[in-house]
Amino acid sequence: IWLTPGVPHHYAADPATGWDESFVDFGGPATATYTELGYIEPDRPVVPLADAAGPRAAIGRIARAARRGNPLLEVETGAAVHELLVALRRARADTNADGDPVLSALARDAFQPLSVAEHAARHGMSAAELRTAVRRAAGCSPKDYLLSIRLGRAKELLAATELPVAAVARRVGYDDPAYFSRLFTRRVGTAPVRFRDQQGRAVPGGWSDRVPDPEHPPTIVGRSV
């Protein structure tokens, strides 16, 4: 989750499953360049990760570099933050370590009502060739890859907006809200309305674009770096 200066935020973990978290606070002249290159995305504050191993390892190196008395603290922590930004970009659910163009194109068109064969035709490939390319790059079928992106975006919209479920369904590529609800329930384990209700009750006061009441702040348990 990108938390940018001057932007109030309000969030919390699922009350049933909780979460495992770390925070890295950084700044400096390179942040503007990383933002321009898309490694930091203030307009997309929730970063869906296909694999958190790389970012976890980078954060571990930051923590070790920040040990008390380290004479190279500034240099080592700065280098580790750069590594973290690269690891986050590589671990995004809509790309891979090589910035695979097929995955990037699929992610771009994920919300359009296209079949796998139609996606393949857009790239001058057969459906079989597309399945092979996606399986090699992402470790799953094109259908599952597209579905993960659609459901990830649906979760963001349900949690952070008041759009009706039918509107959320349309925004992520489903004209039939009943089908979307059944699919979401089967894949996520809870219905869209229930998912939204859980997210709204996860933080005192529900989702908001304002900082919560200081008397009832979100409870954050984790490690700050």
Supply the pLDDT for residue 220: 42
Q: Which of 206, 199, 154 is nearest to 181 (CA)?
A: 154
Other Cβ atoms closer than 10 A to 117: 14
Q: How far apart are CA 91 and CA 112, in angstroms?
A: 24
Judged on CB neighbours under 10 Å (0-12, 13-18, 19+), 144 is middle
Q: Which residues pair with 22 in a beta bridge?
A: 223
Establish if 193 belongs to a structural domain: yes
Establish if 27 belongs to a structural domain: no
**How many degrees, rounded to 5, is the angle at CA 32 between CA 86 and CA 100?**
35
Establish if 192 belongs to a structural domain: yes
132, 77 contact by CB (below 8 A) = no
Considering its fold, how many domains does the chain have in total?
A: 1
Establish if 176 belongs to a structural domain: yes
Establish if 64 belongs to a structural domain: no
Residues with Cβ < 8 Å from 159, sequence gap 6 or more? Answer: 195, 196, 199, 200, 207
CATH code: domain of residue 139: 1.10.10.60
How many helices (H) and strands (E) in the chain? 10, 2
Supply the pLDDT for residue 68: 82
Eight-class DSSP state of 219: P
Q: How far apart are CA 19 and CA 56, in angstroms?
A: 14
For 174-214, what is each residue's pLDDT tens digit?
999 999 999 999 988 889 998 888 775 544 444 444 555 55
Identity of the amino acid at 46: V
For 68-83, what is each residue's pLDDT tens digit?
888 888 888 888 898 8
Judged on CB neighbours under 10 Å (0-12, 13-18, 19+), 80 is buried
Establish if 158 belongs to a structural domain: yes
Establish if 116 belongs to a structural domain: yes
More confident residue, 220 or 78: 78
pLDDT (average), residues 137-147: 84
Establish if 95 belongs to a structural domain: no
Which of 56-60, 91-95, 182-186 is least confident?
91-95
Supply the pLDDT for residue 223: 35
Instruction: Identify the domain containing residue 196 by its residue range.
Output: 101-201
Supply the pLDDT for residue 137: 73
116, 102 contact by CB (below 8 A) = no
pLDDT band of 216, cuts 50, 70, 90: low
| pTM, to two decimals | 0.50
Tokens 């399945």 belong to: 131
Q: How far apart are CA 171 and CA 111, in angstroms?
A: 7
Q: Which residues pair with 23 in a beta bridge?
A: 224
Eight-class DSSP state of 218: P
Mean pLDDT of all residues in the chain?
79
Which of 46-50, 51-55, 59-63 is least confident?
46-50
98, 121 contact by CB (below 8 A) = no
pLDDT band of 155, cuts 50, 70, 90: confident
